[in-house]
Amino acid sequence: MSTNGANPMRPYLGRLAGVRDLATGIKLFQIELAEPEGQATVADYKPGQFAFVSAFGAGEAPFGVASIPARGPILEFAVNALGHVTHTLHTLEVGDPVGVRGPLGNWFPMGEIKGHDVVILGAGIGGAPLRPVIHTILDNRADYGRLTIIWAARAPDLLVFTDEFDEWGAAPDTEFHVTIDREHSDWTGNVGLITQLLEQVNPPSDDAVTITCGPPIAIHFVTLTLKKLGFTLDQMLTTLEARMHCGIGKCGRCNMGEKFICVDGPVFWQSEIAGFLEGFL
C-alpha cells in the first residue's frame, strides 16, 4: 500500500468533516476524502502509518494517522499547533478543503504480535499513533493477550483522548494507567514520569510486546526502564517522527544514518535501532 501511484507528490483532495479540541493546543482533525482514487488508496491503511496533511497555502506536514479503517472511512489526525502548517490547520473549519498524501511508511506488525500481551506506552501527543493499535486490539480482543495501557502527559490538559479512557479501562483483560509529570490542582491521579508509572505497574515481560511513542527523550528512558523490568530490545516497538518533505525516501530530510524514517520506518524494533549508526535522540 502506498500513496498516489500516478504522482506520489500529489495529495488527494478532501474536506474537514469534523474538528474538536483534544488537549490544550491540540486538535483532532477528521478528514473525508473526496476523490474515488483517494478513498480507494486509504481503504486499508495500517496502524502506525502516517500521511501528509495539506493546508493549502501554508504547505503540508506529516502526521501519524490516529484512526483505523475498520471504524469508518474518516481519517483522523491529532495536530499540535507548533509550526506554520499546523497553526494554519488549526484555523480551518468543518467543510474546509484539505489534502492528504498517504498512507506512507511501515506499520505495527499487528499480525505478528497476535497471541502476545501488549504494553502500550504513550507520552503526550505520542499517544495519537498508538490509538489505532488500541482500537485494533479492542476490536479484535480475543486475538491478543493482556493489554496494558500506560498514558502520560506533562499536565492534565495535555492528555489526549481522555474521552476514551473509560472505554479502554473497562475493556476485557485490559488495564489502563495514566500519569502527569507534576502535581496539578485539577489532578487527583498518579503524578510522576511515565517511567515511574511503568516501574510501578511492572507488566510481566515473559510473553509481551511493548509499543512506545512520545518525545525522543521519553522513548529513550522508557526503553531503559523496560530493560530494567526484564524486557529485551526485540520485544520493544517504537514509532519515530521526523521533519519530512516527501515521505517516499527522496528528500533526505528524515535520515537517521543510512535509514530513512519515512520508508524504513516510522515503526522500528528497538533491536533494529540499536544497530543504526545514528541515534534518534
Partner 1 sequence: MKFTTLNGLRAWLDRLAQEYDLIAPRDVDGHVLYRPVGSSGEILFDYERPELSAKDYLLPATETLLWVEKRGSEVILEEVLPDRRQVLFGLRPCDAHGFTVLDALFLAQDPPDLYYRHHRERTTLVGLACPQMWDGCFCTSMGGAPDDPTHLDVLLREVDGGYAVEPVTEKGMALLEGLALEERSQKPGFSEKTQFLRPVEVPPPERWRPLFENRLWMRHGERCLSCRICTYVCPTCRCFDVTDRVVEERAGVTRIERIRVWDACTSTNYRRVAGGHNPRPTKPERLRNRFYCKFCYYPEDFGPLGCVGCGRCIVSCPVDIDITEVMRDVAERSGG
The count of residues interacting with partner 1 (CB under 8 A) is 46
Short-list 135, 63, 137, 69, CA closest to 104:
63
- Residue that is written with C-alpha cell 501527543 in the block: 125
Short-list 61, 42, 54, 94, CA closest to 247:
61
Pairing state of beta strands 117-123 and 208-213? parallel
- Euclidean distance between CA atoms 255 and 252, whole angstroms: 6
- Binding partner 1 (rule: CB under 8 A), the pick from 114, 215, 220, 221 is 215
- Binding partner 1 (rule: CB under 8 A), the pick from 256, 262, 267, 273 is 256
- Binding partner 1 (rule: CB under 8 A), the pick from 18, 72, 73, 97 is 97
Short-list 17, 130, 117, 6, CA closest to 74:
17
According to the binding rule CB under 8 A, does residue 56 interact with partner 1? yes
- Euclidean distance between CA atoms 6 and 2, whole angstroms: 11
According to the binding rule CB under 8 A, does residue 1 interact with partner 1? no
Please identify, using beta-carbon distances, which residue of 56 and 165 lies nearer to partner 1. Answer: 56
- Binding partner 1 (rule: CB under 8 A), the pick from 32, 96, 175, 272 is 96
According to the binding rule CB under 8 A, does residue 25 interact with partner 1? no
According to the binding rule CB under 8 A, does residue 275 interact with partner 1? no
Max intra-chain CA distance, the chain: 54
Binding residues (CB under 8 A) for partner 1: these are 2, 5, 7-11, 13, 15, 56-61, 80, 82-83, 86, 95-97, 99, 215-217, 241-243, 245-246, 248-253, 255-258, 277-281
